[in-house]
Structure 1
């Protein structure tokens, strides 16, 4: 019997990317899975894929920014499965744009989904997870939750917030004597549609940013990411770094401390130089 066999696992943001890969892999390993996403069609497709590997699946359309809806969903999952052992709060979106160029509505949306959705989901399911003999909360920050970069201030803020929330929650569980583990995941570039479907300031080039991410940054397949995450969960790690890029970022921040902030603006300018030169030649 494997570690996940028979366990009840909840996965938000399961309509695509890492969330979908996790749901399918959990099903393959014998877990009973509750999957949710804001995109009802996509999450039903994920459920069908889970069922194809003989998984017991519940699929539901849930917007994690709606705390009342998430609370009702948590109770419904508990009623159907009888318990909840682990929760993966994968749902998230990205935003690119300087603070001056960004709309407040976009900034608020990023915080509502990435940080608020994590908090809503964790708080709703936590009483059920505490009741489990092997309870586990798995949150999702980012390599951008370890190192800030220009033009991602909203996204950085949300992912730094998830990191702080996760570390505090882990300490609360230890102090209260609950047997609940808390793991925070820090993915680097994973081959998902997160940038293509992201929010952009009006001054940003969506197509260029998407093309750069998908061709140069996203090196890890979602299935590989899921395997790395589940290995870390099984070992009850506090932190899981996904991808060589995430490990490099962690090492750089550890080595340079706060002084990395003096390096990043120059690096960002140099990376954008070829594109600026191309635009000038076209003019």
Structure 2
């Protein structure tokens, strides 16, 4: 296990959503923090909120995880500020709406640079530091869409499946080498964040109603709060859980995929449409 009390953690995407909730909860449990995000105002707000509730050391770092050079700079600055840093949470991510034929290659590259390569580059940048600690932990945020793959999410699913594969293989490598570094890969289901509302749209998508419908469906499934997601991730760190599923929807989809690996989409589609219809009726 990796104890939270007395640790120091680097968290990307810390200005909002799950990252913000993680920062707040980790600080309350006695963890110092190096927080990173493109949203500098959001980072300052999180830092101020933490300062009101705890005396933990918090540093804020502007970071675009799609830029490898910035990740290297962040790692150096975070380690300098927190010499005993032993937890890295690769949380930053973006979304892209559109079927494969509606998405330009440049848009897919943009998403991959953040959602997949950002995770890989940050893991590489921090791993030497983590390997020197008595106990250390990497948390890579995938998605339930790293387990199931609905239509209209080809880019996002490809990246999140890649995060899952990278994380599982690296975890096995670390175990075989007897490394003190443990690794958890996280698969959130619907969490009430702004990722869907902030999603970019494929250049080939011309129907604005489709975007609105996609957001509405996401909202219908987003039953888990960021705070609840953060609590489950932290419990996973403490108990060294290799895979962390967040939300009843994620657990259902994981089981469905196991039982029907090639034919899960039709029953899953019916469940999603039913949930969306229920929300629409309640409005």
| TM more than 0.5 | yes
CA contact (8 A) 1:44 1:59 kept: yes
Shift of the alpha carbon at 1:268?
Answer: 9.2
Give the 3 Å change call, closer, same or farther, for CA 273–195 of structure 1 in structure 2: closer
Aligned partner of 1:209 in structure 2 is: 214
Q: Superposed, which structure 2 residues align to 1:62-77 within 5 Å?
A: 62-77=63-78
Give the 3 Å change call, closer, same or farther, for CA 32–108 of structure 1 in structure 2: same
CA contact (8 A) 1:150 1:268 kept: no
Instruction: Tell me the distance in 2 between the aligned counterparts of 1:121 and 1:108.
Output: 18
Instruction: Tell me the distance in 2 between the aligned counterparts of 1:78 and 1:40.
Output: 20
Aligned partner of 2:5 in structure 1 is: 5
Q: C-alpha deviations, 1:180-229, integer Å up to 9, x for none?
A: 10000000000100000011222353333223322x11100100110011
Instruction: Tell me the distance in 2 between the aligned counterparts of 1:273 and 1:17.
Output: 22
Instruction: Tell me the distance in 1 between the aligned counterparts of 2:234 and 2:276.
Output: 39
| Runs of 4+ residues over 4 Å off in structure 1 | 264-274
Shift of the alpha carbon at 1:102?
Answer: 1.5
Q: C-alpha deviations, 1:87-114, integer Å up to 9, x for none?
A: 0000001112111111222211111110
Aligned partner of 2:168 in structure 1 is: 167
Instruction: Tell me the distance in 2 between the aligned counterparts of 1:135 and 1:40.
Output: 27
Q: C-alpha deviations, 1:21-49, integer Å up to 9, x for none?
A: 00010000000011000111111111112
Q: Superposed, which structure 2 residues align to 1:13-162 within 5 Å?
A: 13-54=13-54, 55-162=56-163
Answer with 144-153 or 49-58: which moved more.
49-58
Aligned residues: 271
Shift of the alpha carbon at 1:260?
Answer: 2.3
Shift of the alpha carbon at 1:163?
Answer: 0.1
- Please list every run of 5 or more consecutive structure 1 residues that lacks an aligned counterpart in the other structure: 275-283
| TM-score normalised by length of structure 1 | 0.90
| TM-score normalised by length of structure 2 | 0.90
**3-state SS, counterpart of residue 100 of structure 1:** helix
Instruction: Tell me the distance in 2 between the aligned counterparts of 1:269 and 1:114.
Output: 24
Shift of the alpha carbon at 1:265?
Answer: 8.9
Larger RCO (CA under 8 A, 6+ residues apart): 2
Instruction: Tell me the distance in 2 between the aligned counterparts of 1:20 and 1:203.
Output: 33
**3-state SS, counterpart of residue 148 of structure 2:** coil
Aligned partner of 2:222 in structure 1 is: 218
Instruction: Tell me the distance in 2 between the aligned counterparts of 1:45 and 1:231.
Output: 25
